[in-house]
Structure formats: structure tokens, C-alpha cells
Amino acid sequence: MRETSNPVFRSISRSETYTSADVATYGGIIIKTLFLLLTAVGAGFLSIMYVPVETLYSMLMVAMVVGFISVIIASRSIRLAMPFSILYSLAEGLLLGIITAIFEAMIPGIALTAIMGTLVIFFVMLFLYASRTIRVTNRFRRIMFSVMLGLLVFFILFGILSLFGSTMMANIMMNPMIALGVGAIMIIVGALMLTLDFERAESIVENGADKRYEWMVSLGLMVTIVWIYIEILRFVAILTMSRNR
């Protein structure tokens, strides 16, 4: 099976054979992805309604850690994919609910803009992939891997410099034009990652994967969708604040 940049789908690629008679389907992937999305929305709504303000920071930290651990476990174990995919959605819902509430308080209407932007990107990329306007080739995968590696190195370097008290990188990133440029790149990368996710989902179905792999596929799509939503939220916030200066 072919390589992909999404860590969830990379774990599926390592499984060479499928033995279950109950195989993965597109319908199953769609239903599970919608279920995870609705779970995240519900968790986000409850977090906005009931999480005390004084616990927001600690809850954000817990949600980030739980979400990260859940993805690692769900992407490595087909038996645990379902419960930990759901746990990831709950954690990310809590995280996104709090973050969205904070941004919405500063910029009313930003949440709806980010949601609509995410939906538009998702369906546009799905159309481009389904119509083969964008073809996922080995060269495309290598380019995406290089871009993801470059971004990872960049943010690790930024974090290290920040820990040592360097203000140079912070001042650079605070420049609205640079911040918008980085945000646009992150959104584009997230959109292109969707095509890799679609290709992996197609490969899973066409190769007759065990139906339990639908949870891994749905989780992989969730990871990318969350990425895009957060980056659009941040991009719109930076754009709005730079205009209001």
C-alpha cells in the first residue's frame, strides 16, 4: 500500500493483509467520520457551557495531552481504534470549544467563518480528488512529506529559541504579514493533506480492509479537519486584528 503523510494512515499502511469478511466501505467511513465530528461538536458545546473560567488553562492542557495520546494509540491498534478515536473527538471538542469561545469573544462571527471555510475546503478538495484534477502520485507524496518535515523543523526551532528567551523569532512571527503568510501556508498544506487522506481511504476500501479500519480512516480525516479549522480560525483572527490596528 502507498505512503501518506498522515500518521494515522501510515500505521494502516504497515498492515499487509486483511482477513475479515466484514470489509470497509465508503458509507462506513462517512458515518464514522460524521459521528466523530458530532461528538467533537457536542463536547465543544458542553465545554463552553459548563467549564469554569478558572480551569480553562488546565483543561486545555489536559485536552491536548489526551488528544495526542489517543491518536497514537488509535493509530497503532485496530482493536483500540474505536474507543480512542471517540476519546480523541471528545478531547478535541473540549479543546476547540474553549479556543473557539475565546476567539468568538474577541471577534464575533469568527467561528462561523472558520466552520464555513473548513467545509468549503473539504468539499472542494474532495471534488478535485474525485475528478482526478489533483492526482496523488509518488512525487506528490514526497513533496508533501518534505513540506511537513520542514514545518516540523521550523516549529521545533521556534520553540527552542523561545525557551532560551530569544525574542527575534517572536518579533518576526508577530509581524502581521509574516503571520498571515505562515497561516496561509498551513491552510494550504492542510488542504493538500486531505487529498492524501482521500487516497488512503480509497485504498483501504478498494483493498478490502477489515471494517474496523474505518475508525482509523475516520480518525485520520478528523486530525486533518481539526488542523484546517484551527488554522483558518487563527488566520481570520490575525487578518481582522491587523485591519483594526
Can you give the chain as a three-state secondary structure string? CCCCCCHHHHHHHCCCCCCCCCECCHHHHHHHHHHHHHHHHHHHHHHHHHCCHHHHHHHHHHHHHHHHHHHHHHHHCCCCHHHHHHHHHHHHHHHHHHHHHHHHHHCCCHHHHHHHHHHHHHHHHHHHHHCCCCCCCHHHHHHHHHHHHHHHHHHHHHHHHHHCCCCHHHHHHHCHHHHHHHHHHHHHHHHHHHHHHHHHHHHHHHCCCECCHHHHHHHHHHHHHHHHHHHHHHHHHHHHHHHCC
What pLDDT was estimated at residue 171? 62
What pLDDT was estimated at residue 160? 72
Those residues with Cβ within 8 angstroms of residue 7's Cβ, 6 or more apart along the chain or in another chain: 71, 75, 223
Per the CB < 8 A criterion, the answer to whether 13 and 4 are in contact is yes
Domain ranges of the chain: 7-243
- Tens-digit pLDDT profile for the chain (245 aa)? 444 445 454 555 444 444 455 888 999 999 999 999 999 999 999 888 887 877 888 888 899 999 999 999 998 888 999 999 999 999 999 999 989 988 998 899 999 999 999 999 999 999 999 999 988 888 998 888 888 888 888 777 776 766 665 555 556 666 778 888 888 999 999 999 999 999 989 989 998 888 889 999 999 999 999 999 999 999 999 898 887 76
What pLDDT was estimated at residue 21? 56
- Count of other CB atoms within 10 angstroms of residue 215: 26
What pLDDT was estimated at residue 16? 41
What pLDDT was estimated at residue 178? 81
Cα distances (Å, whole numbers) of residue 78 to 59, 97, 101, 244: 28, 28, 34, 49
With CA atoms as reference, report the closest residue to 135 among 196, 221, 203, 202. 196
Rounded CA-CA distance 199/129 in Å is 8
What pLDDT was estimated at residue 172? 62
